[in-house]
Amino acid sequence: MNMCPYCGEDVPDDSSACWKCGTEIQRGEGGAETIEQRNVEGKTGGGPKVECPFCQAQISARAMRCNECGRVVQRTNVRANWVPIAWTVFGLVLAATLVGLVVAFVRAHQTPPDPGRDTPLTIKPHELGRIYLRGGAPEQRRREIWDSEHKGRFVQWEGVIVDIDPSARIMGLADDGLGGRATAVVQFKGDQDLSGLKVEKTIRYSARLEDFRDGQFHLSLGVLLED
């Protein structure tokens, strides 16, 4: 195989011209190669000619290099090689598809914020109070029931604000009106705006049951619910 001196393509030894750029390859004395640009579409050497933009010599319209100055001739009418472009586009599409699949997989398997909030217990404060705050069962038995059935579960309750500490984000709520003692002490999440709340206001909230002691339920991760 020989290499075309103008476009660098491999050319069979018995070829008289480069199959790609049309450069004619002739062997002189001693096997030395001489080269001449020709139009491969015309066997007689005719065909369209153009002017080299660098040295203004007349060259074949299909020539990739000027046979006078040797510089590469860039022409807008030369057909681009579509294979590298096609592979590039295919690679980009494949990469975008893989990224989309990874994002969808991660989103589908992400742990939702505050797991269990969307499936709260339906039990009311006074119903739960009969079991743990006013129940006659021994403390140990109540703790066993609490740990197995209610601890860590979310509830959606309504109560009247008895006391509030906005800086600590803690609120005491009574489920039986202002005359009652706070039966639920709720620690609200940091993104909750409690500035507009005050004693005697009735609110609905979602929170997680953490403990019961001293006649009160203690809850965390509180968020306000719309009225």
Residue 86 lies in a domain: no
Q: Does pLDDT of 44 surpass 50?
A: no
Q: What pLDDT is attached to residue 7? A: 62
Co-location of 136 and 217 in the same domain: yes
* Six-digit token string for 111: 């742990």
Neighbours of 119 (CB within 10 A): 8
Which 3-state string (H, E, C) describes 144-159?
HHHHHHHCCCEEEEEE
Q: Does pLDDT of 32 surpass 70?
A: no
Residues 18/11, Cβ–Cβ less than 8 Å: yes
Residue 78 lies in a domain: no
| 43, 60, 77 - which closes a domain | 60
| 12, 29, 60 - which closes a domain | 60
**DSSP, residue by residue, the chain:** -EE-TTT--EE-TT-SB-TTT-EEEEE-GGG-EEEEE--TT-TTS-S-EEE-TTT--EEETT-SB-TTT-PBPP-TTSPP-HHHHHHHHHHHHHHHHHHHHHHHHHHHHSPPSSTTTTS-B---HHHHHHHHTS--S-HHHHHHHIIIIITT-EEEEEEEEEEEETTTTEEEEESS-TTSPP-EEEEE-TT---TT--TT-EEEEEEEEEEEETTEEEEEEEEEE--
Q: Name which residue leads in pLDDT, 93 or 35.
A: 93
- Total domain count, the chain: 2
Residues 166/194, Cβ–Cβ less than 8 Å: yes
Residues 181/215, Cβ–Cβ less than 8 Å: yes
Residue 216 lies in a domain: yes
Residues 186/224, Cβ–Cβ less than 8 Å: no
- The reply to whether the predicted model has a pTM over 0.85 is no
Residue 35 lies in a domain: yes
Give the pLDDT band of residue 10 (cuts 50, 70, 90). confident
Q: Name which residue leads in pLDDT, 96 or 19.
A: 96
Q: Does pLDDT of 183 surpass 50?
A: yes
Residues 163/181, Cβ–Cβ less than 8 Å: no
Residue 105 lies in a domain: no
What domain range includes position 200?
125-225
Q: Does pLDDT of 180 surpass 50?
A: yes
Co-location of 47 and 130 in the same domain: no
Residue 99 lies in a domain: no
| 36, 60, 84 - which closes a domain | 60
CA nearest neighbour of 23 among 33, 50, 82: 33
Residue 74 lies in a domain: no
Neighbours of 133 (CB within 10 A): 17
CA atoms of 226 and 158, how far apart (whole Å)? 11
Co-location of 213 and 134 in the same domain: yes
Co-location of 130 and 221 in the same domain: yes
Q: Name which residue leads in pLDDT, 16 or 172.
A: 172
Mean pLDDT, all residues of the chain? 80
Q: Name which residue leads in pLDDT, 9 or 159.
A: 159
pLDDT digits (tens, 9 = 90+) for 59-94: 877 777 777 787 777 655 445 556 678 888 888 999
Residue 106 lies in a domain: no
Co-location of 137 and 54 in the same domain: no
Q: What is the CATH number of the domain that holds 201?
A: 2.40.50.140
Q: What pLDDT is attached to residue 43? A: 39
